[in-house]
Amino acid sequence: MSKSLGNFFTICQITQRYHPLALRYFLINTHYRSPLNYSIVQLEGASNAIFYIYQTLKDCQDGLLQLQEEIPNDGKPVRTTPDAKECISKLRNEFQVKMSDDLSTSLILTGAFLEVLKLVNNLLTMLKKKQQKQQRLLVIQSLKEIKKEVMKVLDVLGLQPPCSYTEVSGFTYYTMLRFMPSVKF
């Protein structure tokens, strides 16, 4: 078998195993001027990262849908928690700096981006606890604003899903179960 035909079969196996967004995430994590070396471990890591991103966004979307009636539409400026404000600012700045620094996309999906996702999960946990109405509204508005910023970053990087968050996270979860049966969830 020729080397190019072998590479073709390898690529076919990879595309069946991993969601296209996981493959794109993997490619973005390599600088465009660096040679592309791959391993199954790196592809699994990309798949896990995509699962985490879209599961977090799905949880955020579900939480906001349940609280839709609590969100005011009075035209007043949006207020967020100090943590959310700081995280959003840090994400914007870091994104701009890294994109301006020779398209360092490999560094964008770490650091401030991961901090924002962790904050989303923390805010969702806060929503489950009893709070005063004003604090609850602040958390809801913070989630909305953070989600908007995350979506902007994903859009620029071409990581916006063509389908729902549920389908992306479901696909990656299914493939992890199917191809990694030894992993316990």
pTM, whole model, 2 decimals? 0.79
Instruction: Evaluate whether 115 touches 87 at the Cβ level (below 8 Å).
Output: yes
Determine the Cα–Cα distance for residues 53 and 136; give it in Å rounded to an integer: 24
Q: In angstroms, how far is CA 8 from the centroid of its own chain? A: 29
- Tens digit of each residue's pLDDT, the chain (185 residues): 444 444 544 555 555 677 888 889 998 988 888 888 878 888 889 989 999 999 999 999 998 888 877 766 766 677 899 999 999 999 999 999 999 988 888 888 888 999 999 999 999 999 888 888 888 889 999 999 999 999 999 999 999 877 666 666 565 555 544 444 444 43
Q: How far apart are CA 66 and CA 102, in angstroms?
A: 41
The verdict on residue 184 lying in a domain is no
Query: CA–CA separation, 64 vs 56, rounded Å?
Result: 12
Number of domains making up the chain: 1
97 within a domain of the structure (yes/no): yes
What's the domain range around 93? Answer: 3-179
Please indicate, yes or no, if residue 185 is contained in any of the structural domains. Answer: no
